[in-house]
Amino acid sequence: MCAPGRPITLVLFCLFGSATSSPVISHTLAPPPPPQISPPSPTSPITSSSGESSEGADCHLKISSSTLVVRFGDPVKANCSKQKIGFPMLGWKVSQGAPEATTEDFLVWSVDKMTDWSIKPTCFAVSDLGGQCDVELSLIVYQPPNRVSIRFVNHTGPMFEGHRYVLQCTVHDVAPVENITVTFYRGQTALARLQSNITEKTPVNESFTLSIIPCKEHNRTQFWCEAKLELGPEGPRQPPVVKSEKLSALVHTEPQLVHPTNQQVKESLQCEVKGNPQPLGDSGTTNSSKGCFLLAALLAQMINCL
Protein backbone atom coordinates (compact mmCIF):
# COMPACT_ATOMS: atom_id res chain seq x y z
CA MET A 1 0.00 0.00 0.00
CA CYS A 2 3.01 2.23 0.51
CA ALA A 3 4.82 3.85 -2.37
CA PRO A 4 8.02 5.87 -2.24
CA GLY A 5 7.50 9.59 -2.37
CA ARG A 6 9.55 12.10 -4.25
CA PRO A 7 12.42 13.57 -2.24
CA ILE A 8 12.15 17.21 -1.33
CA THR A 9 15.48 19.04 -1.07
CA LEU A 10 16.30 22.27 0.73
CA VAL A 11 19.80 23.75 0.91
CA LEU A 12 20.89 25.36 4.20
CA PHE A 13 24.15 27.31 3.96
CA CYS A 14 26.19 28.16 7.01
CA LEU A 15 26.42 31.65 5.44
CA PHE A 16 22.74 32.27 5.96
CA GLY A 17 21.99 29.84 8.78
CA SER A 18 18.47 29.41 7.45
CA ALA A 19 16.38 27.43 5.01
CA THR A 20 13.58 28.61 2.72
CA SER A 21 11.16 26.23 2.69
CA SER A 22 6.22 23.20 3.38
CA PRO A 23 -16.68 6.18 -9.13
CA VAL A 24 -17.32 3.60 -7.50
CA ILE A 25 -20.72 4.83 -6.49
CA SER A 26 -23.05 2.37 -4.87
CA HIS A 27 -26.31 2.86 -3.16
CA THR A 28 -29.08 0.49 -2.21
CA LEU A 29 -32.54 1.86 -2.60
CA ALA A 30 -35.80 0.97 -0.98
CA PRO A 31 -38.53 -0.40 -3.28
CA PRO A 32 -38.64 1.74 -6.43
CA PRO A 33 -40.45 5.06 -6.00
CA PRO A 34 -43.28 6.14 -8.26
CA PRO A 35 -42.21 6.54 -11.91
CA GLN A 36 -42.14 10.32 -11.72
CA ILE A 37 -39.48 10.19 -8.92
CA SER A 38 -36.21 8.44 -9.57
CA PRO A 39 -32.81 8.42 -7.83
CA PRO A 40 -29.96 10.30 -9.49
CA SER A 41 -28.13 8.35 -12.16
CA PRO A 42 -24.40 7.85 -11.38
CA THR A 43 -23.61 8.43 -15.03
CA SER A 44 -25.50 11.69 -15.55
CA PRO A 45 -24.90 15.14 -14.08
CA ILE A 46 -26.92 15.97 -11.01
CA THR A 47 -29.02 19.06 -11.49
CA SER A 48 -31.41 21.09 -9.45
CA SER A 49 -35.11 21.43 -10.26
CA SER A 50 -34.25 24.51 -12.26
CA GLY A 51 -31.84 22.56 -14.41
CA GLU A 52 -28.78 24.32 -12.96
CA SER A 53 -25.69 22.47 -11.83
CA SER A 54 -25.92 21.38 -8.19
CA GLU A 55 -22.77 23.38 -7.41
CA GLY A 56 -24.63 26.63 -7.94
CA ALA A 57 -28.10 25.50 -6.89
CA ASP A 58 -29.65 25.82 -3.45
CA CYS A 59 -30.46 22.20 -2.61
CA HIS A 60 -31.79 22.95 0.87
CA LEU A 61 -29.81 19.98 2.23
CA LYS A 62 -27.78 20.09 5.41
CA ILE A 63 -25.08 17.66 6.60
CA SER A 64 -24.46 17.63 10.34
CA SER A 65 -20.74 18.36 9.81
CA SER A 66 -19.49 19.79 6.55
CA THR A 67 -16.05 18.27 7.22
CA LEU A 68 -15.15 15.10 9.11
CA VAL A 69 -11.70 13.75 9.97
CA VAL A 70 -11.50 10.04 10.79
CA ARG A 71 -8.60 7.72 11.49
CA PHE A 72 -8.39 4.68 9.21
CA GLY A 73 -10.24 1.80 10.90
CA ASP A 74 -12.36 4.01 13.17
CA PRO A 75 -16.17 4.47 12.98
CA VAL A 76 -17.73 7.48 11.31
CA LYS A 77 -21.27 8.92 11.15
CA ALA A 78 -22.98 11.84 9.42
CA ASN A 79 -26.60 13.00 9.23
CA CYS A 80 -28.18 14.60 6.16
CA SER A 81 -31.51 16.42 6.44
CA LYS A 82 -33.93 18.22 4.12
CA GLN A 83 -34.56 21.87 4.89
CA LYS A 84 -37.46 22.36 2.46
CA ILE A 85 -40.57 20.46 1.32
CA GLY A 86 -40.88 19.26 -2.25
CA PHE A 87 -38.04 16.71 -2.09
CA PRO A 88 -39.77 13.37 -1.37
CA MET A 89 -36.66 11.16 -1.60
CA LEU A 90 -33.40 11.47 0.30
CA GLY A 91 -30.34 9.24 0.00
CA TRP A 92 -26.57 8.83 0.16
CA LYS A 93 -24.19 8.01 -2.69
CA VAL A 94 -21.12 6.48 -1.07
CA SER A 95 -18.77 3.56 -1.73
CA GLN A 96 -18.98 2.17 1.82
CA GLY A 97 -22.04 1.71 4.04
CA ALA A 98 -24.62 3.36 1.79
CA PRO A 99 -28.04 3.34 3.51
CA GLU A 100 -31.33 2.83 1.69
CA ALA A 101 -32.97 5.96 0.36
CA THR A 102 -35.86 7.30 2.40
CA THR A 103 -38.85 9.62 2.23
CA GLU A 104 -38.10 10.87 5.75
CA ASP A 105 -36.69 14.31 6.43
CA PHE A 106 -33.26 13.01 7.44
CA LEU A 107 -30.97 10.05 6.76
CA VAL A 108 -27.90 8.93 8.70
CA TRP A 109 -24.87 7.42 6.99
CA SER A 110 -22.63 5.41 9.31
CA VAL A 111 -19.68 3.05 9.02
CA ASP A 112 -18.33 0.91 11.86
CA LYS A 113 -14.80 0.72 10.41
CA MET A 114 -13.56 3.15 7.79
CA THR A 115 -11.49 1.29 5.19
CA ASP A 116 -11.74 3.52 2.10
CA TRP A 117 -8.94 6.07 1.75
CA SER A 118 -10.55 8.06 -1.08
CA ILE A 119 -14.18 7.97 -0.02
CA LYS A 120 -16.45 10.86 -1.08
CA PRO A 121 -19.88 10.59 0.61
CA THR A 122 -22.61 12.60 -1.12
CA CYS A 123 -26.12 13.27 0.16
CA PHE A 124 -28.72 13.67 -2.60
CA ALA A 125 -32.38 14.68 -2.83
CA VAL A 126 -34.90 14.19 -5.64
CA SER A 127 -37.50 16.86 -6.29
CA ASP A 128 -41.15 16.01 -6.87
CA LEU A 129 -40.79 18.09 -10.02
CA GLY A 130 -38.10 15.74 -11.31
CA GLY A 131 -35.02 17.77 -10.46
CA GLN A 132 -32.11 16.46 -8.39
CA CYS A 133 -29.39 18.01 -6.23
CA ASP A 134 -26.63 16.88 -3.90
CA VAL A 135 -24.19 18.00 -1.22
CA GLU A 136 -20.78 16.37 -0.76
CA LEU A 137 -19.36 15.65 2.68
CA SER A 138 -15.68 16.54 3.00
CA LEU A 139 -14.09 13.51 4.66
CA ILE A 140 -10.39 13.12 5.47
CA VAL A 141 -9.15 9.61 6.28
CA TYR A 142 -5.78 9.73 8.00
CA GLN A 143 -3.04 7.56 9.45
CA PRO A 144 -0.22 8.95 11.64
CA PRO A 145 3.36 8.04 10.67
CA ASN A 146 4.40 4.54 11.68
CA ARG A 147 7.86 5.95 12.42
CA VAL A 148 10.27 8.73 11.44
CA SER A 149 13.96 8.14 10.71
CA ILE A 150 16.96 10.40 10.04
CA ARG A 151 20.38 9.79 8.50
CA PHE A 152 23.21 11.42 6.63
CA VAL A 153 23.12 10.59 2.92
CA ASN A 154 26.25 8.70 1.76
CA HIS A 155 28.19 9.56 4.92
CA THR A 156 29.19 7.92 8.18
CA GLY A 157 31.62 8.98 10.88
CA PRO A 158 32.93 12.46 11.76
CA MET A 159 32.25 15.54 9.66
CA PHE A 160 34.64 18.29 8.68
CA GLU A 161 34.01 21.98 9.19
CA GLY A 162 33.09 23.80 5.99
CA HIS A 163 32.07 20.64 4.10
CA ARG A 164 28.55 20.08 2.85
CA TYR A 165 26.47 17.15 4.12
CA VAL A 166 22.90 16.07 3.41
CA LEU A 167 20.43 15.09 6.11
CA GLN A 168 17.50 12.91 5.10
CA CYS A 169 14.33 12.61 7.18
CA THR A 170 11.97 9.82 6.11
CA VAL A 171 8.35 9.60 7.24
CA HIS A 172 7.01 6.04 7.03
CA ASP A 173 3.41 4.99 6.24
CA VAL A 174 1.59 8.30 6.62
CA ALA A 175 -1.67 9.49 5.06
CA PRO A 176 -2.49 11.93 3.70
CA VAL A 177 1.15 12.90 3.16
CA GLU A 178 0.23 16.42 1.97
CA ASN A 179 -0.83 17.20 5.56
CA ILE A 180 2.61 16.37 6.99
CA THR A 181 5.00 19.09 8.14
CA VAL A 182 8.59 17.96 8.76
CA THR A 183 10.91 20.08 10.91
CA PHE A 184 14.69 19.61 11.06
CA TYR A 185 16.46 20.49 14.31
CA ARG A 186 20.01 21.07 15.50
CA GLY A 187 19.70 20.69 19.24
CA GLN A 188 16.59 22.72 20.05
CA THR A 189 17.04 25.08 17.10
CA ALA A 190 14.59 24.60 14.23
CA LEU A 191 16.53 24.68 10.95
CA ALA A 192 13.78 24.20 8.36
CA ARG A 193 10.16 23.23 7.95
CA LEU A 194 9.15 21.32 4.84
CA GLN A 195 5.90 20.01 3.36
CA SER A 196 5.12 17.49 0.63
CA ASN A 197 3.33 18.33 -2.62
CA ILE A 198 2.17 14.74 -3.16
CA THR A 199 -1.62 14.37 -3.13
CA GLU A 200 -1.74 10.58 -2.68
CA LYS A 201 -4.48 9.61 -0.20
CA THR A 202 -3.15 6.16 0.74
CA PRO A 203 -0.17 5.74 3.12
CA VAL A 204 3.25 6.39 1.59
CA ASN A 205 6.87 6.83 2.63
CA GLU A 206 8.14 10.34 1.96
CA SER A 207 11.73 11.60 2.27
CA PHE A 208 12.75 15.19 2.97
CA THR A 209 16.39 16.34 2.63
CA LEU A 210 18.35 19.26 4.03
CA SER A 211 21.91 20.30 3.10
CA ILE A 212 24.08 21.64 5.93
CA ILE A 213 27.60 23.04 6.23
CA PRO A 214 28.66 22.48 9.87
CA CYS A 215 30.94 24.76 11.89
CA LYS A 216 33.15 23.46 14.65
CA GLU A 217 30.75 25.03 17.16
CA HIS A 218 28.30 22.32 16.10
CA ASN A 219 30.59 19.58 17.41
CA ARG A 220 28.69 17.12 19.60
CA THR A 221 25.33 18.76 18.88
CA GLN A 222 22.44 16.52 17.86
CA PHE A 223 20.49 16.57 14.60
CA TRP A 224 16.96 15.17 14.49
CA CYS A 225 13.59 15.72 12.85
CA GLU A 226 9.91 15.42 13.65
CA ALA A 227 6.77 14.93 11.55
CA LYS A 228 3.47 16.55 12.53
CA LEU A 229 0.21 15.52 10.86
CA GLU A 230 -1.81 18.74 10.72
CA LEU A 231 -5.48 18.00 9.98
CA GLY A 232 -7.10 21.34 10.73
CA PRO A 233 -9.67 22.32 13.35
CA GLU A 234 -11.78 19.21 12.65
CA GLY A 235 -8.81 16.93 13.36
CA PRO A 236 -7.47 15.66 16.72
CA ARG A 237 -7.04 18.33 19.37
CA GLN A 238 -3.41 17.25 19.68
CA PRO A 239 -2.04 16.70 16.15
CA PRO A 240 -0.08 13.43 15.86
CA VAL A 241 3.67 14.08 16.18
CA VAL A 242 6.39 11.46 15.66
CA LYS A 243 10.08 12.20 16.30
CA SER A 244 13.17 10.57 14.86
CA GLU A 245 16.20 9.34 16.75
CA LYS A 246 19.00 11.86 17.35
CA LEU A 247 22.31 11.91 15.48
CA SER A 248 25.29 13.21 17.45
CA ALA A 249 27.58 15.25 15.20
CA LEU A 250 31.38 15.05 15.49
CA VAL A 251 32.79 18.04 13.64
CA HIS A 252 36.54 18.17 13.00
CA THR A 253 38.57 21.14 11.79
CA GLU A 254 40.95 20.34 8.97
CA PRO A 255 44.56 21.58 9.48
CA GLN A 256 45.15 24.97 7.84
CA LEU A 257 48.38 26.86 7.16
CA VAL A 258 47.93 30.32 8.68
CA HIS A 259 50.47 33.15 8.51
CA PRO A 260 51.62 34.01 12.10
CA THR A 261 50.82 37.71 11.68
CA ASN A 262 47.20 36.84 10.89
CA GLN A 263 46.68 34.62 13.94
CA GLN A 264 45.07 37.45 15.94
CA VAL A 265 42.59 38.12 13.17
CA LYS A 266 41.71 34.42 13.04
CA GLU A 267 41.06 34.28 16.78
CA SER A 268 38.84 37.37 16.53
CA LEU A 269 36.73 35.72 13.86
CA GLN A 270 36.44 32.54 15.91
CA CYS A 271 34.99 34.52 18.82
CA GLU A 272 32.37 35.88 16.47
CA VAL A 273 30.89 32.46 15.75
CA LYS A 274 29.83 31.82 19.31
CA GLY A 275 26.49 33.60 19.06
CA ASN A 276 23.34 31.84 20.18
CA PRO A 277 21.49 30.68 17.01
CA GLN A 278 17.80 31.48 16.90
CA PRO A 279 15.03 29.52 15.13
CA LEU A 280 15.33 30.36 11.48
CA GLY A 281 12.90 32.42 9.40
CA ASP A 282 12.84 33.29 5.73
CA SER A 283 15.62 35.83 6.02
CA GLY A 284 17.16 35.01 9.39
CA THR A 285 20.95 34.73 9.85
CA THR A 286 23.09 33.98 12.89
CA ASN A 287 26.44 35.16 14.20
CA SER A 288 27.59 31.55 14.12
CA SER A 289 26.94 31.09 10.42
CA LYS A 290 28.43 34.50 9.50
CA GLY A 291 31.59 33.75 11.44
CA CYS A 292 32.02 30.32 9.91
CA PHE A 293 31.79 31.70 6.37
CA LEU A 294 34.08 34.67 7.03
CA LEU A 295 36.69 32.43 8.62
CA ALA A 296 36.68 30.03 5.69
CA ALA A 297 36.94 32.86 3.16
CA LEU A 298 39.77 34.59 5.00
CA LEU A 299 41.80 31.43 5.46
CA ALA A 300 41.49 30.61 1.78
CA GLN A 301 42.75 34.07 0.82
CA MET A 302 45.69 33.92 3.22
CA ILE A 303 46.76 30.48 1.97
CA ASN A 304 46.75 31.79 -1.61
CA CYS A 305 49.04 34.64 -0.54
CA LEU A 306 51.64 32.35 1.03
| Chain segment 129-165, per-residue pLDDT in tens | 778 888 999 999 999 999 999 999 988 888 888 899 9
Contact between residue 61 and residue 82 where contact means Cβ atoms under 8 Å apart: yes
Can you give the pLDDT at residue 128? 82
Indicate whether 54 belongs to any domain.
no
User: In whole angstroms, what is the distance from residue 159 CA to residue 143 CA?
Assistant: 36
What is the identity of the amino acid at 229?
L
* 32 belongs to a structural domain: no
Give pLDDT, residue 304. Answer: 54
Residues 174 and 194 grouped into a single domain: yes
Whether the bond into 34 is cis, omega within 30 of 0: no
Q: Of 142, 170, 196, which closes a domain? A: 142
Domain, as residue range, for 104: 61-142
**Domain stops at, among 142, 159, 175:** 142
Query: Does residue 122 lie within any of the structural domains?
Result: yes
Choose among 82, 44, 50: nearest CA to 63: 82
Q: Give the mean pLDDT of 8-28.
A: 38
Q: What is the mean pLDDT of the chain?
A: 74
- Regarding whether 259 and 213 lie in a shared domain, the answer is yes
d(Cα 192, Cα 21) in Å, to the nearest integer?
Answer: 7
Q: Are 185 and 243 in contact (CB under 8 A)?
A: no
Whole-number Cα distances in Å, 176 to 38, 61, 139, 238, 283: 36, 29, 12, 17, 30
* Segment 38-48 mean pLDDT: 37
* Chain center to CA of 86: 43
Q: Which residue has the higher pLDDT, 197 or 305?
A: 197
**Residues 169/182, Cβ–Cβ less than 8 Å:** yes
- Asked whether the whole model's pTM tops 0.85, one would answer no
Q: What is the pLDDT of residue 75?
A: 96
